[in-house]
Structure 1
Amino acid sequence: MELITKAPKGTVDIVPGKSEKWQVMEDVFRSEAELNGFGEVRTPVFEHTELFLRGVGDTTDVVEKQMYTFEDKGGRSITLRPEGTAGAVRAMLENGLYNAGYPVKLYYLTSCYRYEKPQAGRLRELHQFGVEMFGAAQPVADAQIIAMALSAFKRLGLEDVGLQLNSIGCPECRKEYHKALKEYFTARKDQLCDTCLSRLERNPMRILDCKSPECQEVAQGAPKITDYLCEDCKAHFAKVQEFLTALGIEFEIDPGLVRGLDYYTRTVFEFPSKSLGFALGGGGRYDGLVEEFGGKPTPGLGFGLGLDRIMMALEAQQVEFPQPVKCEAYIASMGDAAQTKALLLMEELHRCGIPADCDLCGRGLKAQMKYADKIGAKFTMVLGDNELEAGKAELKNMKTGEKRKIAISGQDFINDYVTVSTEAEDFSQDGIFF
């Protein structure tokens, strides 16, 4: 029994008290995406495994160590999505979104799944905000999505988010770079982990992203991709920097930044949190990915931000969230007839968009009032036989103790309630109630 009352390792519950903060954070990201012309896409939680093998890359940690892969009852290999880009590309192609013209701009708020050791900011079920843009090859597009992420961080109140920037070139650049890396790491094979030894022949750039301290130390002296960029990639990267500077965005060039997925080309970037010591997300270009999935050659770029990590950063910086109004009016009752009336009045308030509640647990009056105070009700009303007979009841302001008699029938109830609550709001702004 103990097992079924605990969430699986590497997962967390987002419960009331926390979920309201998540909603505020998610609303900021939705707003920022829509301001920039992005539309929401929702893809399945699982895809054919081949999608991630071809897109993410079979030499990455994600594919080699972290994917949740299984056979379904039809014998098909299925994988829970470890990241959002591959599914977004597939959805763009399958649904012909390109027919509406380029650029295609998509965003998502989704969950991803990676089997890895749970630690601070790293869960097996992680939550992500991501954007993808297809059909925009110009470096101004790189600058726009970077600026978009930083704008959202600023709106949330995060003050210590940096920007690390690099270019990992195009396939032509990387041919010579791979040769240089292979030569460098081959001379130091005895210092590499077993996983990186297998990467040496297939994709030596993946060694730069290894999390092993020994491999990281060896990689410190490795050749830098920025020394091998072709003229087009140099020009593209220079232009990205020029646009960012024009926008007043500070950045740091990190020649060792390669990102953890194989589909990236040219611009790559991360957003490190200085207080937490790790990145809140990152992204870059993937100009060959659409073609890899069977589409026409189409430039692409995007980013993914870790919402779990961003919430950690918000809490670490003690960013204040607006307090949600759980209950504006609580209608207490004494007796069956009063309980029915309380239910009807509560529903009338709901139809007007006013948060309201009534007794659902058969409590006595004293317990009902205690509960109303606990949930932070702004107003309370007590209904009994006398109130039902008179057609009026006292609406009490819980902050001031002031009481007003209002009608408890039809439109008069709503009109009286709105009048009293509006007056309370107006006067409260001046520090005076009623």
Structure 2
Amino acid sequence: MTTPNPEEGQRAFELDRAHVFHSWSAQDKITPMPVAGGRNAVFWDYEGNEYLDFNSQMVNVNLGHQHPTLVKSIQDQAAKLSTIAPGFANDTRSEAARLITSVAPEGLNHVFFTNGGAEAVENAVKMARIHTGRDKVMAAYRSYHGATATAITLTGEPRRFNNRHTDSGVVHFMGPYTYQSPFWSESEEQECERALAHLEQLIILEGSHTIAAVIMEPVVGGMGVIVPPKGYLKGLKEICDRYGILFIADEVMVGFGRCGTWFTFDNFDVTPDIITFAKGSNSGYVPLGGVVMSDAIYETFAEKVFPGGLTYSGHPLACAPVVATFEVFEEEKILDRVNDLADRVIRPRLEAMREKHAIVGDVRGLGMFWAIELVKNKQTREPLVPYNAQGDDAKPMNEFAAACKKAGLWPFVGMNRTHVAPPLTIPEEDLIRGLDIIDEALEGLATYAE
């Protein structure tokens, strides 16, 4: 940690308030905290206050803050070649693409690089529509796919409400959610069967010949770390294949080790036709996203021009930390440590919290990505706060977040859930300390239980 410098922090805050426009915010109702620095799973402000980053910023700093290997890769690339247009071949870009496809399923051998996840989704949908000659794309209500035109229309969660839906080809469906089942299921098996029946029925009613793709997060991210029931994703792909529909796996949030495998769909015995990625591919050190496509889709554009492109597609400074990420994963055995900590520390500790606290209804997750769902009553499963709670309705979750921050943890709070999503490199002692803080903060909400 650097020496506290409140004056510098105040200047950063004043300049922010004078000139910076923040996303997803009413500008006069926010107080952004100036951040002075970070290291691995911790960041700190100019006052000297440290916070455990249990959100990995936006679930993207998978290898932690200021990882020396990633930082050096950017420095070395800048000294060699800072930028080059996407129309040229570049060794760093090519190696990044090779490494990404090396952990993708067989038959997905090409990468189109973008500047982030939303652009990856936009281009994946464009590829699917041109490849199939169809227009409609189906997406789950509990989802987030980005804030650009098609991506926000595909998004199911409340951030889409006040956006103009410019893509008329989007159709939403109900995905599986065993704990709060929209299908009145009483078991995971029922949830899988009924959710797949609902999806297929909707495909038939919409006209299967009009549907280009189904896009889904293999584990739903911001809307609750919803792990699909066993067999669901495999069944979804079988339905897609039956009707000539492509399956787009949106791995933007959950890819690159977040759920204990390179890609999260690897946990579910399914092979998508298209993969979108971003965040964890280089831990957000330089903006990057991309699309991995099947060979069949690649062949569609062998003689036909792909109508899309980006000035910074495959930017060398962004691709360098992708290459370095693969080095770190191997040297530090990242996937092994993620699964070890999940099985040995996170799962048993969260399950103990479920037994201990009357307001903890469900805990679920994979790898280093978990949710604690808070309820008023464990029998009725009524959420602690309403869907898309605002103002006073959100008071319990605001109190929880404030208690966590006061104790030195920056939490991920969404609706009636808190998520556990620290960097994959978090030291075990910091992970335990963070879980202790969450446990204590939950104790402070005991009066809200019915």
Greater C-alpha Rg: 1
Point out which structure has higher relative CO (alpha carbons under 8 A, 6+ apart).
Answer: 2
State whether TM-score is above 0.5. Answer: no
TM-score range, shorter chain: under 0.3
Per the normalisation by structure 1, the TM-score is: 0.22
